[in-house]
Amino acid sequence: MLNLVLFGPPGAGKGTQSQKLIDQYQLIHLSTGDLLRSEIAQGTSLGMEAKKLMDQGVLVPDEVVIGMISNKLDANKDAKGFIFDGFPRTVAQAEALDHLLDTKKSAISAMIALEVNDDELERRLLLRGKDSGRPDDANPEVIRKRIMEYNNKTAPVANFYKTQNKFYSIAGIGAIDEIFASLCSVINQL
């Protein structure tokens, strides 16, 4: 199985590149951001709780996103592999993911990080906020909070995969197709 973690700060292009990778490698896309937004759109109690946190730019509790991922893994038993997009975002989530995959006799193949500086992230997210309707993209203060959450809670997850020799990093600035080619060259060497 090919199980990839796509890593990077908010706006690094994880969602954008995931769409291209699922076509290329026939993987199932698991985006915790998309799953949470779908709960919000359906008006579930989980969605309503998550919305309060997401609108402030802070992370949703680990047990909520781990539960969602576990359900999705169970629902896709015959998959050739998965792209984890925006998950794991804390070390506790990374440990839980290893455990979940272990029970399915599988494992993460690689984490690939998209490197983008803070000014470019803010520019991209504000641009998207103009027509996405996402409240967390519309406000520069919320965007900075999301980047701060990333630096405090999510960046350490890279070390988790470095100690397993599964960490790769590529430049996330430039044309979308060039970044995709860099991703494929890492994946094709796994």
Q: Which residues are known catalytic residues? A: 14, 89, 128, 134, 146
Closer Cβ to ligand B4P, 36 or 73, answer by number: 36
Cα–Cα dist 172/151, whole Å: 17
Closer Cβ to ligand B4P, 53 or 100, answer by number: 53
| Using rule CB under 6 A, residue 12 touches ligand B4P | yes
DSSP state of 61: P
Instruction: Give the list of residues 6+ apart from residue 41 with CB closer than 8 angstroms, or none.
Output: 47
CA distances, 32 to each of 8, 111, 129, 162, 188 (Å) = 14, 16, 19, 22, 25
Closer Cβ to ligand B4P, 46 or 105, answer by number: 46
- Find the angle CA(143)-CA(174)-CA(164) to the nearest 5 degrees: 75
Q: Of 9-17, 73-81, 103-111, 158-166, which segment contacts ligand B4P by CB under 6 A?
A: 9-17
DSSP-assigned letters across all residues of 103-159: HTT----EEEEEE--HHHHHHHHHHHHHHH--HHHH-HHHHHHHHHHIIIIITTHHH
Residue nearest to ligand B4P (CB): 33
Residue span 129-168 as binding mask against ligand B4P, x where in contact by CB under 6 A, dash where not: -------x---------x----------------------
Closer Cβ to ligand B4P, 13 or 73, answer by number: 13
Cα–Cα dist 120/124, whole Å: 6
DSSP state of 164: T
3-state secondary structure of 90: coil
Least CB distance from residue 45 to ligand B4P, whole Å? 17
Residue span 59-78 as binding mask against ligand B4P, x where in contact by CB under 6 A, dash where not: xx----x-------------
Applying CB under 6 A, which residues contact ligand B4P?
8, 10-16, 32-33, 36, 53-54, 57, 59-60, 65, 86-87, 89, 93, 124, 128, 136, 146, 176, 179
